[in-house]
Structure 1
Amino acid sequence: MKKLVLVFVVFFASNFTIAQDSDKAKALLDAVYNKVQGYENIFVDFNYVLHNAEADINSETRGDVTLQSDKYLFNYLGTQQLYDGNKVYTIVPENEEVTIEDKTEDENALTPSKMLTFYKEGHTYAWDILQNVQGRKIQYVKLVPIDTNAEIKSILMGVDAETKHIYKLIYTGKNSTTTTITVNSFKTNQPLSKTLFTFDESKYKSDGYYIIKN
C-alpha cells in the first residue's frame, strides 16, 4: 500500500513539475513575442549551419533579413527575396532572373516574416538548459510540433535572458538533419528607405533581367 501511495506521489509530483516547466517556457516565449511586436522594424544578421552526418552534409553560410510588419527583405546564398505585403519577388543576380509569385498559402511554411514569431502556435513547450555565452545568459526552450506529421522533430530556441531576443534556433528534423541559426546581430527601429520593400520591375528589365510571373 505504501509503495502504491509513493508511486502516485512521484507520478503527480513529476507531472506538476513538467506543468510548471511548461508554464515557465511559455511565459518566456510570450515575453519574446511581446518584445518583438513592440519594434517598428528589425534587422537580423545570422549564421546558418546545415548538418547531416549520415549524408555527409555540412554546410555553413551567412544571411540577413530586414522585417517590418509582415514585409521583409531577405538576403541568403546570393539570392534576394522581397515581400511587399502582396507578392514575393525572388531575385537571382547570377542568373539575371526575377520570379514573382503570390504569397504562399501554406500556413505552416516558415517564411522570413514568421522567423521571430513562428513559435507562438502549434508547439508544446519545455524548459531546457541555461548556457553562459560570453557573459550572456542564454535560456533554452524546447519546442515540439503538435502536428505529428511535421518534418521537424523538435526545436531548441535559445533566448537572451536579459534582452528577451532570440539568440539561437536549433532544428532537428526527422531525417537526422540538424539546422542551426545563430544571430550575430539584432538591430531594431532602424531608419529605412520608404522604397525598401518596393519592387521596381522597370529597373530589372532595363538591366536585362528575365522576369517570370507565376
Structure 2
Amino acid sequence: MKNKFLIFFLVGVYSISVLAQNDPKAENLANDVLEKVRSYDNISINFSYTLENIAEQLKEETRGEVYVEGNKYRLNLMGTTQIFDGSKLYTIIPADEEINISSVNSQDDNTITPSKMLTFFEDGYVYKWDIEQNQSGRKIQYIKLIPIDSNADYKNILLGVDKHTKNISNLIYTMNNGTRTEIKISSFKPNEPLSENTFKFDKSKYPDYYINELD
C-alpha cells in the first residue's frame, strides 16, 4: 500500500513539474523583451485601456499615457495623475481637488506598478508559446503567462510581442471572474528627452487642493 502511495505521489509531482516548465521559445522571447526594455534610459507610452465582462454587460474604454525612468513614473489615466519620484507616490485627483501622498515599497515584487509594466513577468509565471497575429502589417507573437501562484486573481496574461522590434504591443488579462482587461500600446518612444520636472510634484500648482498624507 505504501509503495502504491509513493508511486502516485511521484507521478503527481512529476506531472506538476511538467506543467510548470517554460516553453523554451516563449522563455527566449520573454528574455529578449526584458533585455530590450532594460537597455532604455526612459520610455514614453500612449495606450488604450479596455475592461470588459460580457456576462455583466460591462465595457469600459479609456486612454492614458505613462512616462517611466528607472523606478520613477508619471501616469495619466481616467482624469487622475500619479507621480512616483522614487520614494513618494502623489495621486492627483482634479475632480475632487484632492491629492493623496503615500510611501511606496518599490521592492515589493507582488505589486505591479507602471514602472514594472514592461518587466513584471520576469518572475512568478510559466511561459507558454501562443498564437501569432498580423496586426497592421506587424507580426505579433503572443506568450501566455500562467501565474505560479494558485491564488492569483487571474487565469493568465497574454503578452503580445512585436517580433521585429521585440517591444510589447499589448497585454490581455483574463480574470477568474470572467473580466477581460487589455492594455494596448499605441505609441512607444524610448529615450525621449524628458523635462526634469516630469517626476517631481509641485505643491504650488495646487493651492486649493486638499492634501491627504496617508503615512
TM-score, structure 1 length as denominator?
0.88
Provide the residue aligned with 2:185 in structure 1. 183
Provide the residue aligned with 1:169 in structure 2. 171
Whole-Å separation in 2 of the counterparts to 1:132 and 1:203? 45
Provide the residue aligned with 1:143 in structure 2. 145
User: What secondary structure, in the 3-state scheme, does the structure 2 residue paired with 1:94 have?
Assistant: helix
User: What secondary structure, in the 3-state scheme, does the structure 2 residue paired with 1:110 have?
Assistant: coil
Whole-Å separation in 2 of the counterparts to 1:29 and 1:169? 13
Q: Point out where structure 1 has 5 or more consecutive residues left out of the alignment.
A: 1-14
Provide the residue aligned with 2:69 in structure 1. 68
Whole-Å separation in 1 of the counterparts to 2:135 and 2:150? 33
User: Residue 119 in 1 paired to residue 125 in 2?
Assistant: no
Provide the residue aligned with 1:34 in structure 2. 35
Q: CA RMSD in A?
A: 1.7
Provide the residue aligned with 1:99 in structure 2. 100
Q: Give % identity.
A: 49
Provide the residue aligned with 1:213 in structure 2. 213
Whole-Å separation in 1 of the counterparts to 2:132 and 2:75? 30
Following superposition, the deviation at residue 134 of structure 1 comes to 1.3
Whole-Å separation in 1 of the counterparts to 2:34 and 2:139? 18
Whole-Å separation in 2 of the counterparts to 1:178 and 1:196? 31
Letter in structure 1 aligned against 2:76: N
Whole-Å separation in 2 of the counterparts to 1:45 and 1:99? 24
Whole-Å separation in 2 of the counterparts to 1:122 and 1:114? 13
Following superposition, the deviation at residue 202 of structure 1 comes to 3.0
Whole-Å separation in 1 of the counterparts to 2:57 and 2:35? 40
Runs of 4+ residues over 2 Å off in structure 1:
104-107
User: Residue 130 in 1 paired to residue 132 in 2?
Assistant: yes
Whole-Å separation in 2 of the counterparts to 1:153 and 1:51? 15
> What is the count of residue pairs matched by the alignment?
196
Provide the residue aligned with 1:58 in structure 2. 59
Whole-Å separation in 2 of the counterparts to 1:196 and 1:176? 37
TM-score, structure 2 length as denominator?
0.87
Whole-Å separation in 2 of the counterparts to 1:46 and 1:195? 22
